[in-house]
Amino acid sequence: MPQPYTGIFTLLLRRFMQQINKIYLLLKEPRRVVITTHQKPDGDAMGSSLGLFHFLKQFGHHVTVISPTNWADFLDWMPGSKEVLDYERQTPEANAVIDSADWIFCLDFNTLNRTRRMEERLGNANGKRILIDHHQEPQVDKFAYGISETTKSSTCEMVYDLIINSGNDDKINESVAECLYAGVMTDTGSFRFPITTAAVHRMVASLKDKGLQHSRVHEELFDNYLENRFRFIGNVLQNRLQVFYEYNTALIAVPQQDLVKYNIITGDTEGLVNYPLSIKGIKLAAIIIDRGEERKCSFRSKGGFDVNTFARKYFSGGGHFNAAGGQSKEPLEEVEAKFIQAMKENKDQLSNYQF
Ligand code: 5GP
Ligand code: MN
Q: Write down the pTM of the prediction.
A: 0.92
Residue of the CA atom closest to atom 16 of ligand 1: 325
User: Which pLDDT value is given to residue 352?
Assistant: 81
User: Which pLDDT value is given to residue 3?
Assistant: 38
Which CATH number among 3.10.310.30, 2.60.40.10, 1.10.10.10, 3.20.20.70 corresponds to the domain 227-350? Answer: 3.10.310.30
Residue of the CA atom closest to atom 13 of ligand 1: 319
- Residue 187 alpha carbon to ligand 2 centre in Å: 6
**Alpha carbon distance 42, 242 (integer Å):** 26
Residue of the CA atom closest to atom 12 of ligand 1: 319
| Shortest-distance ligand to the CA of residue 114 | 1
- Residue 221 alpha carbon to ligand 2 centre in Å: 16
* Contact residues for 69 (Cβ-Cβ < 8 A; gap 6+): 39, 40, 41, 86, 87, 88, 116
Whether 326 lines ligand 1, by a CB cut-off of 6 Å, is yes
Whether 325 lines ligand 1, by a CB cut-off of 6 Å, is yes
| Spans of the chain below 70 pLDDT | 1-15, 353-355
* Contact residues for 323 (Cβ-Cβ < 8 A; gap 6+): 298, 299, 300, 301, 307
Whether 317 lines ligand 1, by a CB cut-off of 6 Å, is yes
**Alpha carbon distance 288, 333 (integer Å):** 10
CA angle in degrees (0–180, nearest 5) for 108-38-17: 50
* Contact residues for 175 (Cβ-Cβ < 8 A; gap 6+): 50, 51, 54, 79, 80
| Shortest-distance ligand to the CA of residue 315 | 1
| Shortest-distance ligand to the CA of residue 195 | 2
Residue of the CA atom closest to atom 22 of ligand 1: 318
User: Which pLDDT value is given to residue 354?
Assistant: 67
- Residue 311 alpha carbon to ligand 1 centre in Å: 9
Domain ranges of the chain: 7-222, 227-350
Superfamily grouping for domain 7-222: inorganic pyrophosphatase (n-terminal core) (3.90.1640.10)
* Contact residues for 239 (Cβ-Cβ < 8 A; gap 6+): none
User: Which pLDDT value is given to residue 15?
Assistant: 63
**Alpha carbon distance 165, 306 (integer Å):** 31
Out of 44, 114, 139, give the residue to mutate to test ligand 1, the one with the largest number of ligand atoms within 8 Å of its CB: 114
- Residue 154 alpha carbon to ligand 2 centre in Å: 5
Nearest to 37 by CA among 149, 141, 159: 159
